[in-house]
Amino acid sequence: MSDVRVWVNGSMVGPDEPSLAALDHGVTVGDGAFETCKIVDGEIFAANRHLARMDRTLAGLGLATADRDLVQQGVDTVLAAGERIGFGRLRYTITGGPGPLGSDRGDRGMTYIVTAAQAAPPASTTAVATVPWTRNERGATAGLKTTSYAENVIALAHAKDKGGTEAIFGNTRGELCEGTGSNIFVVVDGVLRTPLLDSGCLAGITRELAIEWARGAGIEVREEALPMTVLETADEAFLTSTTRDVQPIHAVDGRELRAPGPVTMRVQEAFAKASAASFNP
């Protein structure tokens, strides 16, 4: 933890120093939103898209729009607080602020937290495991990037016990949905397919860009309802996320897949080319 840079409400603090009110709603009830951004050579990727999604999540939670100047102050401060980060992760979190012990909110303003740290580059391929729990596509926080992550913690631990680095959820309709911190794509009959947003999955920034750039490269991409059983027959599959970019899946519940397959390689190439040309697309 000592290598994590932490900024809270305008000030740098030590990663192990007290910096939040005990009754902050982010602590007591998980009432908050966050964004994780990729750092490359001291800069964050797709900054504007992350800010826009933060505002969508805050609106969905019934919280005020983010103070972007304050977020930027925190971002600039942690990035400048030490040696330049070659590859890493920056996270900013906004909570409902101090409040009562119950679910009612207080009126003392929101809490802003920004952290940054070096990270290891992702592996070239990965294995995933499905989990017995479901995403509720009709839930109040469906599609929002909130700090209520206990469900993901449980699912990821389950997946790791099964040899995966990511857990894959279905939804209540039995459809393929998402990972704990990633979106999933499959290739069936040579066509790239990914769940619709109404499946309950997060509108991932990397998902969005992968679709845009794949289509721009002439790759057919279909957003559609997919049964969970598609993972038993898909020819290729990959994850997208902030730090994974486009990561081929070499095994699903122990079933081996070609990784990367030909379609996945084309998506990787399109993503790499476009992201190199525009760091804030």
Distance of alpha carbon 244 from its chain centroid, rounded? 10
pLDDT of residue 107: 85
| Interval 127-141 mean pLDDT | 97
pLDDT of residue 1: 52
What is the CATH code for 5-118?
A: 3.30.470.10
Per-residue pLDDT band at 2 (split at 50, 70, 90): low
The answer to whether the 5-118 and 126-277 domains have the same CATH topology is: no
CATH number (3.20.20.140, 3.20.10.10, 3.40.50.300, 3.40.50.2300) of 126-277 reads: 3.20.10.10
pLDDT of residue 106: 85
Chain-wide mean pLDDT for the chain?
A: 96
DSSP 269: H
- Where are the chain's structural domains? 5-118, 126-277
What span, in angstroms and rounded, lies between the C-alpha atoms of 49 and 140?
22
| Interval 24-51 mean pLDDT | 96
Q: From 68, 47, 7, select the one nearest 280 (Cα to Cα).
A: 47
How do residues 226-254 score in pLDDT, each as one tens digit?
999 999 999 999 999 999 999 999 999 99
What span, in angstroms and rounded, lies between the C-alpha atoms of 158 and 49?
31
Kindly give the pairing relationship between strand 236-241 and strand 245-252. antiparallel
Residue with tokens 């680095």: 165
**Residue 71 pLDDT exceeds 90:** yes
- Note whether 206 and 212 are within 8 A (CB): no
